[in-house]
């Protein structure tokens, strides 16, 4: 066996979709393997003292190994766990979250549920595709694993079928029209309606500019869809929202409802509560909370999202929501301590800035609910809040991204007595 080919046994899952293995004093991060499996791997790189590898031959398979549904799996970098039974995927994600908490000096409450999907396919309502040209044909696809090379795709079973069909339609339209210099395609579909929000990035065209001819031809190829450039509707729990391409939206609509129910249950807003919603986006959580709380102050850095949050509050006739623009740490400096009883925060993957956590501790709300899409930064920030006088009361793991390594977690914290 060559130096690039090694026989290893998988040990445990790591955040990033690989399995940790050791052999001959070396540490390997092995993709497309499962814990407990004996696999022959090919070393494809090295990062620091860790060898990056991919399983090329399974010598002893796990009983949890299944055939991947997607023909592009193993080449496309979008999915990482399609070869694992879904119940096993949920176990691995819980372990990854628990490991992150442990490294931060915390313990994931043992009763924390892992909330998966009944049908963990076709769940994405937003997809961003990269353009690739080959032999005069324009296609859209995703980056290969750990590569900048784009793999054209014909199907993607984690996306809504309408997005899959629309991506193929835009590729055909671009080919027929002789378009060159396309870079990316962002598609967002209405979960309960026919609208399809689209945005194309092209070299030489200013960001946000549209290509009416391209869209018109694509629309002819998907006549059951209504192609929209400005915004689409998002509806749930009797609320209506407008969503734009340049604002965040949870890509898994079905699990978004599961996540938001966890947030609502943990926050338990009452009619006397003034609530802060930090990193609030277009106001989805803020408006849900506002129906039960005295008021909600939503803080968001993206000015487009702030305007949409205010619009969404008016659409839903909720006059107890205030949308404030700016960086969270800067806006919080102007808020009086003790005013807000409860805070919900859902920051981007990088987590909170230290200054934002310091301001939260200064404000001293009675309870916090922290939502995160990154276990490491979530655990890091929770540990800082615990050191500042809070205790973790509840937690849950929500699988927003089946077949991938990505995972959402949510934690409820209470201020310790006497703080």
Sheet containing 226-228, strands listed edge to edge, beginning at the edge strand earlier in sequence: 150-152, 137-143, 126-134, 182-189, 195-202, 226-228
Instruction: Decide yes or no: CATH 1.10.10.10 for domain 5-65.
Output: no
Q: How many CB atoms lie within 10 A of CB 33?
A: 31
CA dist., res. 167 & res. 187, Å (int) = 8
CA dist., res. 269 & res. 236, Å (int) = 19
CATH architecture of 100-117+252-415: 3-Layer(aba) Sandwich (3.40)
Contact 414, 393 (CB under 8 A): yes
Query: What is the CA angle 70-160-402, rounded to 5?
Result: 55
Q: Of 395, 411, 367, which is closest to residue 273 (Cα–Cα)?
A: 367
211 token code pair: 């290509």
Query: What is the CA angle 406-410-412, rounded to 5?
Result: 165
374 token code pair: 């990154």
Where in the chain are the domains? 5-65, 100-117+252-415, 126-233
Contact 244, 393 (CB under 8 A): no
Query: What does the DSSP assignment read for 135-160?
Result: TTEEEEEEEBTTSS-EEE-S--TTB-
Tell me whether domains 100-117+252-415 and 126-233 share a fold: no
**pLDDT in the model for residue 209:** 60
182 token code pair: 């396309």
Contact 35, 10 (CB under 8 A): yes
CA distances from 362 to 261, 332, 383 (A): 28, 9, 16
Rama region for 18: left / alpha / beta (φ>0; ψ in -120 to 50; rest): beta
Cut 0.75: pTM above it: yes
Strands (E), 245-366: 274-278, 295-300, 321-325, 342-345
Rounded to a whole number of angstroms, the distance between the first and last alpha carbons of the chain is 61
**pLDDT in the model for residue 207:** 62
126-233 CATH fold: OB fold (Dihydrolipoamide Acetyltransferase, E2P) (2.40.50)
Query: What is the CA angle 366-408-297, rounded to 5?
Result: 40
Q: Of 306, 251, 300, which is closest to residue 126 (Cα–Cα)?
A: 251
Q: Where are the alpha helices (DSSP H) in 369-409?
A: 375-387
Active site residue 373: yes
Q: What is the pLDDT along the chain (419 residues), one digit of tens a residue?
A: 456 899 999 999 999 999 999 999 999 999 999 999 999 999 999 998 999 999 999 999 999 999 999 999 999 999 999 999 999 999 999 999 999 999 999 999 999 999 999 999 999 999 999 999 988 899 999 999 888 999 999 999 999 999 999 999 999 999 999 998 999 999 999 999 999 999 999 887 766 566 899 999 999 999 999 999 999 999 999 999 999 999 999 999 999 999 999 999 999 999 999 999 999 999 999 999 999 999 999 999 999 999 999 999 999 999 999 999 999 999 999 999 989 999 999 999 999 999 999 999 999 999 999 999 999 999 999 999 999 999 999 999 999 999 999 999 999 999 986 55
**pLDDT in the model for residue 171:** 97
Contact 138, 174 (CB under 8 A): yes
Contact 71, 150 (CB under 8 A): no
Q: Where are the alpha helices (DSSP H) in 25-84?
A: none
Q: Of 263, 194, 193, which is closest to residue 235 (Cα–Cα)?
A: 193
**pLDDT in the model for residue 129:** 98
Counting DSSP H helices and E strands in the chain, the numbers are 9, 22
252 token code pair: 């898994």
Largest CA distance in the chain: 70
Report helix, strand or coil for 295: strand
Contact 369, 263 (CB under 8 A): yes
Query: What does the DSSP assignment read for 231-267?
Result: -EEEEETTEEEEE-TTS---SBHHHHHHHHHHHHHHH
Q: How many CB atoms lie within 10 A of CB 387?
A: 11
């Amino acid at each position: 066996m060559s130096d690039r080919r090694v026989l290893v046994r998988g040990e445990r899952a790591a955040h990033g979709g690989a399995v940790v293995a050791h052999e001959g004093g070396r540490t390997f991060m092995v993709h497309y393997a499962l814990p407990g499996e004996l696999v022959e791997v090919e070393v494809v790189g090295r990062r620091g003292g860790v060898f990056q590898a991919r399983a090329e031959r399974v010598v002893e398979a796990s009983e949890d190994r299944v055939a991947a549904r997607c023909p592009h799996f193993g080449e496309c970098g979008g999915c990482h766990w399609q070869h694992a039974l879904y119940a096993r995927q949920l176990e691995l994600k819980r372990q990854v979250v628990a490991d992150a908490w442990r490294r931060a000096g915390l313990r994931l409450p043992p009763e924390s549920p892992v909330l998966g999907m009944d049908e963990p396919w076709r769940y994405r309502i937003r997809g961003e595709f990269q353009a690739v040209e080959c032999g005069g044909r324009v296609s859209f696809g995703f980056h290969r694993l750990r590569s900048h090379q784009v793999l054209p795709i014909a199907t993607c079973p984690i996306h809504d079928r309408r997005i899959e069909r629309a991506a193929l339609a835009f590729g055909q339209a671009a080919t027929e029209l002789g378009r060159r210099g396309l870079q990316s395609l962002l598609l967002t579909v209405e979960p309960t309606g026919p609208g399809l929000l689209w945005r194309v990035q092209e070299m030489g065209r200013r960001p946000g500019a549209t290509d009416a001819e391209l869209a018109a031809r694509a629309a002819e190829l998907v006549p059951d869809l209504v192609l929209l450039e400005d915004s689409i509707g998002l509806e749930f729990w009797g609320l209506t929202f407008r969503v734009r391409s340049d604002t965040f939206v949870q890509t898994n609509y079905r699990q978004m409802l599961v996540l938001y129910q966890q947030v609502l249950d943990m926050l338990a807003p009452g009619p006397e509560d003034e609530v802060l919603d930090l990193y609030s986006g277009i106001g989805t959580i803020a408006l849900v909370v506002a129906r039960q709380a005295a008021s909600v102050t939503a803080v968001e850095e993206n000015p487009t999202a702030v305007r949409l949050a205010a619009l969404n509050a008016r659409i839903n006739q909720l006059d107890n929501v205030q949308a404030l623009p700016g960086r969270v740490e800067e806006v919080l400096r102007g808020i009086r301590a003790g005013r807000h009883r409860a805070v919900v925060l859902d920051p981007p993957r990088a987590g909170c800035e230290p200054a934002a956590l310091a301001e939260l501790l200064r404000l001293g709300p009675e309870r916090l609910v922290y939502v995160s899409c990154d276990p490491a930064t979530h655990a890091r920030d929770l540990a800082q809040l615990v050191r500042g006088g809070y205790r973790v009361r509840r937690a849950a793991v929500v699988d927003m991204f089946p077949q991938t390594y990505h995972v959402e977690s949510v934690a409820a914290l209470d201020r310790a007595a006497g703080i």
